[in-house]
Structure 1
Amino acid sequence: MTLDDLIDALCAPNQALVLPRGFTTPHSYRGFFDELAFEPMEGVSVGAMLGDAWSARGETFTAHKGGEYTMTGDTPCWLALHGSNGGEEFTPELLARMIAAGTLPTTPATA
């Protein structure tokens, strides 16, 4: 998925959904410095992930071994720890599984 694909897909679900497996903190992917990765994170909302994805669009990141890379809407995206060349490439199926596992936060009962 490109960054624009990811942003578009994150606009559709309920923004309050909290995912047991989500992401945060965009950075240059070590596997391909000109591609974008997000740090895996537990317990993050779809809205927070959308905010992180939007924040990466047009942003310039310094790669692991140097060099500056500006991320565009056409930039491929990964789910990977900072500095790792492993991880998973974002696909529609991966994102669909992540969102399907989401739950809405519960509100405490009032007396």
Structure 2
Amino acid sequence: MTLAEMIKALKRLDPRIPVYKLANPHSYRGYHEQLAFEIDSSLTMEAGILLDICEKLLGSTLHGYKGGVYTIKDSTPVWIAEYGNTGRPLEAIQEDGNIILGEDD
């Protein structure tokens, strides 16, 4: 899922629906120019808040895990991974706010 696809999925949801809390957007360890979020499945936030965070990321820059500066675009892939670790790609956000992850990296 790209950031644009994530934003589109979040826009389809009621802004008050709870979704997993995706926190600490950062450069993905596996591909430094790509975006990763950390997840805490014990916490939730509303879809509207996560949408706002994602929209603010568009056009912003992140420092690469091993250096460099990368601009976050609508075509930037999104991963779920702790900082400094590889993880799994975000595949979908369901209507009930649950997320689907792809295969391990």
| TM band (smaller chain) | 0.7 to 0.9
Secondary structure of the structure 2 residue equivalent to 1:43: strand
Larger CA Rg, structure 1 vs 2 = 1
Residues matched between the structures, number: 97
Q: Displacement of 1:26 after TM fit? A: 1.5
Q: Which protein is richer in helix relative to its size? A: 1
- Rounded to whole Å, the distance in 2 between the matches of 1:97 and 1:81 is 25
Correspondence 1:52 to 2:60: no
1:9 paired residue number: 9
Are the equivalent residues in 2 in contact too, given 1:2–1:77 (CA < 8 A)?
Answer: yes
TM-score, normalised to structure 2's length?
A: 0.81
Secondary structure of the structure 2 residue equivalent to 1:91: strand
Q: Which protein is richer in strand relative to its size? A: 2
Measured against aligned partners, the alpha-carbon deviations of 1:3-37 in whole angstroms (never above 9, x if no partner) come to 10100110011111123x33123211111001111
Q: Which runs of 5+ in 1 are unaligned?
A: 102-111
Q: Which runs of 5+ in 2 are unaligned?
A: 100-105
Q: Displacement of 1:61 after TM fit? A: 0.5
**Identical aligned pairs, as a percentage?**
32
RMSD over aligned Cα atoms: 1.9
- Rounded to whole Å, the distance in 2 between the matches of 1:97 and 1:83 is 30
